[in-house]
Amino acid sequence: MAYEVSIENRTAKIELLNRVGSKALIRIDDRKYELDIVEVEQGVYSIIHNGHSYNIELIEGDHSKKYIVNTFARTFNCEIIDAETKYMKSRNQGTDVESDNNIHAPMPGKVVKITVEPGANVVAGQPLIIIEAMKMQSEFKSSGNKTVLEILVREGDTVNAHQLMIRLGEISEPAENN
């Protein structure tokens, strides 16, 4: 069975072709991958591909088809897009169901550094906050040109998974002087 999975700004078609024990053959779009996948603890997986080892952590998001995927260096938001998801998105088209104007903690951790202040205008890709979890630091960046509306945490705070940390808004156009 094939699934569409949205990872950040990309949608990939993923299909499990064969699985025997920990060995899996999957197709992502038009490429096949032979993987050795082992769940080392609940939600944490070790994946070996072409002799390279990768560790990932899957955290269920705000519903059963959304996940936060943590790797050693990055964090990704993923969503499984099935027929039900496509139907609901088409029904909600034009409504603000979910906004990219909020920065949430992907997992429990500690706020190491906040690089912005309320009222600041930020550009796409600008670092906003650094969180440490599982002995790794993750930097969260602005998804677009935004204004920092509210910072709900302080450096040194402990945050919970999915906790809202920073609220962003659209940059308002300056009023023209006549």
| pLDDT of res. 157 | 95
Q: In terms of Cα–Cα distance, which of 127, 112, 116 is closest to 158?
A: 112
Structure tokens at 124: 């796409």
The pLDDT of 78-93, averaged and rounded, is: 64
Residue 149: how many other CB atoms lie within 10 Å: 14
Q: Can you list the domains of the chain with their CATH numbers?
A: 2-91 (3.30.700.30), 102-170 (2.40.50.100)
| pLDDT of res. 53 | 92
The pTM of the full predicted model, rounded to 2 decimals, is 0.48
| pLDDT of res. 88 | 57
- Contacting residues for 111 by C-beta, under 8 A, at least 6 apart: 129, 130, 131, 153, 154, 155, 156, 157, 158, 159, 165
- For residue 16, give Cα distances in angstroms to 8, 13, 20, 32, 177: 21, 10, 11, 10, 60
Dump pLDDT digits (tens) for 125-134.
889 999 988 7
Cβ neighbourhood burial of 14 (10 Å; 0-12, 13-18, 19+): middle
Query: Contact, 35 vs 26, CB < 8 A?
Result: yes
| pLDDT of res. 136 | 82
